[in-house]
Amino acid sequence: MRMHPEPAYTHGQPARTGILWINLGTPEAPTPAALRRYLGQFLSDPRVVELPRALWWPILHGIILNVRPRKSAAKYATIWTPEGSPLKVWTERQAKLLQGLLGERGHHVTVRWAMRYGEPAIARELDALKTAGCTRILILPAYPQYCAATTASAFDEVWRWAGARRWVPELRFVNHYHDDAGYIAALAARVRAHWAEHGRPERLVMSFHGMPARTLQLGDPYHCECHKTGRLLAEALELPPGQAVVTFQSRFGRAKWLQPYTEPTLVELARQGVGRVDVVCPGFTADCIETLEEIDQEARAAFLAAGGRAFHYIPCLNDDLGWLRALADLAERHLAGWPTRTPHDPAAAEATRQRARALGATM
């Protein structure tokens, strides 16, 4: 196996702790070419599409990548901002604010962000953390609910990177935080703030990203963790039974996916005479194509066309300060035991360099 060259090392340099904040990914531009590259990487991941490659490859390269990029590019164009992809904008901002909050608490850590698909790539950002002197790295996914297709896929990429490095940093992984008290409190505060300004709905729909139904039977905890998040959020909001419902969006293909499905549920609610619904997407910590286009545009149109009178989309946590404080709390718990509060001691570093030179080191 060929190992990547190690970054230059200076004896006595302080050993730092790093955090890598990982989100799913986004195309670089709302164009068919950019979508073809992005979807090619995303849909080639066996964690995402669990079909034999001999069966899936002709479908992916012969049909999907020739048809879907243009349609997806048009959808991305409706949510694109002057700063770029909303997911990228929010993820970068969250990483910077997380580092600032941890710094205010006295932690000397370096926080970088990466995308599982697209740029900045996980391997590139891990290399950057190593070059910055990080010998301990906390892997922190932006997915509150564990899922093999998201969380485990990000971990796979970290281990692929580690497998090609001679000096592997000490690594820790955060699997999930679907029932974290701070995360639930931040979600509840987000919903309450919306209601304080716009009034309350007849139903609150909590829409999570969908997965094939078979993943539940195969042992993936995602379905259960989504329902627990939904239950805890409903309890925090003190909602009576039946006023909140958990649904699943973003189906792909003809197979049965986790149910109930979001858009058909909204249509049925409208047909039953429900005049106003509010939709929140607790599984997404940053607004993206699935929330801004699929929910706030497509699902809104479906509900209103079916007879609903008012549809409110409640934005994701994004750069909400309560959420970021909860994220800093979570990071602190997982950093426990690592010397993140130790300041750099120039005298001790120089003594280390002198001892190393005495043993023949040149740096």
For residue 89, what is the domain's CATH number? Answer: 3.40.50.1400
pLDDT in tens, 210-237: 999 999 999 999 999 999 999 999 999 9
Task: With H, G, I as helix, E, B as strand and everything else as coil, classify residue 246.
Answer: strand
**Residue 293 belongs to some domain of the structure:** yes
Q: Which residues pair with 314 in a beta bridge?
A: 280
**Residue 113 belongs to some domain of the structure:** yes
**Residue 37 belongs to some domain of the structure:** no
203 and 286 in a single domain? The answer is yes
Between CA 160 and CA 341 the distance in angstroms is 30
132 and 277 in a single domain? The answer is no
pLDDT for residue 354 is more than 80: no
272 and 186 in a single domain? The answer is yes
The strand ranges marked E within the chain are 16-25, 109-117, 134-141, 170-173, 203-209, 244-249, 276-280, 310-314
Average pLDDT, the chain: 93
**Residue 151 belongs to some domain of the structure:** yes
**Residue 91 belongs to some domain of the structure:** yes
**Residue 6 belongs to some domain of the structure:** no
Confidence band for 353, pLDDT divided at 50, 70 and 90: very low
Between CA 181 and CA 147 the distance in angstroms is 20
Of 230, 243, 163, 231, residue with least CA distance to 200? 243
305 and 206 in a single domain? The answer is yes
326 and 304 in a single domain? The answer is no
pLDDT at 68: 96
208 contacts 145 by C-beta, under 8 angstroms: yes
Q: Which residues pair with 81 in a beta bridge?
A: 84
Please tell me whether 178 is known to bind a ligand: no
pLDDT at 344: 54
152 and 97 in a single domain? The answer is yes
279 and 164 in a single domain? The answer is no
258 and 278 in a single domain? The answer is yes
pLDDT for residue 311 is more than 90: yes
Domain that holds residue 285: 181-313
pLDDT at 4: 86
pTM of this prediction?
0.92
236 and 282 in a single domain? The answer is yes
Cα dihedral across residues 291, 292, 294, 297: positive or negative:
positive
Cα end-to-end distance, the chain, whole Å? 27
Over range 122-147, report the average pLDDT.
97
**Residue 157 belongs to some domain of the structure:** yes
Rg (the chain; Cα; Å): 23
pLDDT at 343: 62
pLDDT at 347: 52
CA 267, 233, 178: angle at the middle one, nearest 5? 105
131 and 210 in a single domain? The answer is no
205 and 280 in a single domain? The answer is yes
**Residue 355 belongs to some domain of the structure:** no
Please tell me whether 28 is known to bind a ligand: no
187 and 165 in a single domain? The answer is no
Q: How many domains does the chain have?
A: 2
Between CA 65 and CA 242 the distance in angstroms is 41
